Amino acid sequence: LEKYSKIQLLSEFIATKQKELKSYNESNNIDNSVLVNGRRQTNIGVFRAYLEKYLNSLSDISDKMTFLVRQLQPSDKGIPIEIYVFSKIQAWADYEAIQADIFDHILAIIPEFELSSYQAPSGSDIRAIKN
């Protein structure tokens, strides 16, 4: 969590969430020596929080319409994260540029959260393994 606390958009969230979880675990007499006991922050939970903070920081994202970042049901391809936000700009090319910038950023920072995006293997991947 120390690593994530250094991310400007997350520092306040991490501190607040840690206090909340510590209070919960203490009030429920949780034995923290065993990791499965009690409540803890996870990298995917912190990643979702980062996405919310990041998207909220973008001036082109509407604050008057639905804003949702959520985790969907896990599948054999991983744990999907759904982003449901609206752009203030409706011009198609501009909208596509905003969307592309958002996903460029997300794909670039995923490894910082010790996560990876799923990409189905292709024929060239299988050929590379054989060689």
- Tell me, yes or no, whether 76 and 99 share the same domain: yes
Domain of 85?
Answer: 42-120
pTM of the model: 0.88
- Tell me, yes or no, whether 13 and 31 share the same domain: yes
Amino acid 46: pLDDT = 98
- Tell me, yes or no, whether 76 and 116 share the same domain: yes
Amino acid 82: pLDDT = 97
Taking the alpha carbons at both ends of the chain, their separation in whole angstroms is: 40
83-131 tens-digit pLDDT: 999 999 999 999 999 999 999 999 999 999 999 998 888 787 778 888 7
Amino acid 21: pLDDT = 96
Statement: residue 57 has pLDDT above 90: yes
Question: What's the number of domains the chain is made of?
Answer: 2
- Tell me, yes or no, whether 87 and 99 share the same domain: yes
Amino acid 98: pLDDT = 98
- Non-local (6+) Cβ contacts of 78 within 8 A are 118
* CATH number of the domain residue 61 falls in: 3.30.70
Rounded to whole angstroms, the Cα distance separating 7 from 18 reads: 15
The 3-state DSSP class for residue 64 equals coil
Buried b (16+ CB within 10 A) or exposed e, 30-66: beeeeeeebeebeeeebbbbbbbbbbeeeebbeeeee
- Tell me, yes or no, whether 36 and 52 share the same domain: no
27-37 tens-digit pLDDT: 999 998 898 99
Asked whether 87 and 61 are in contact (CB, 8 A), the reply is yes
Rounded to whole angstroms, the Cα distance separating 85 from 69 reads: 8
- Tell me, yes or no, whether 28 and 83 share the same domain: no
Q: What is the largest CA-CA distance in the chain?
A: 57
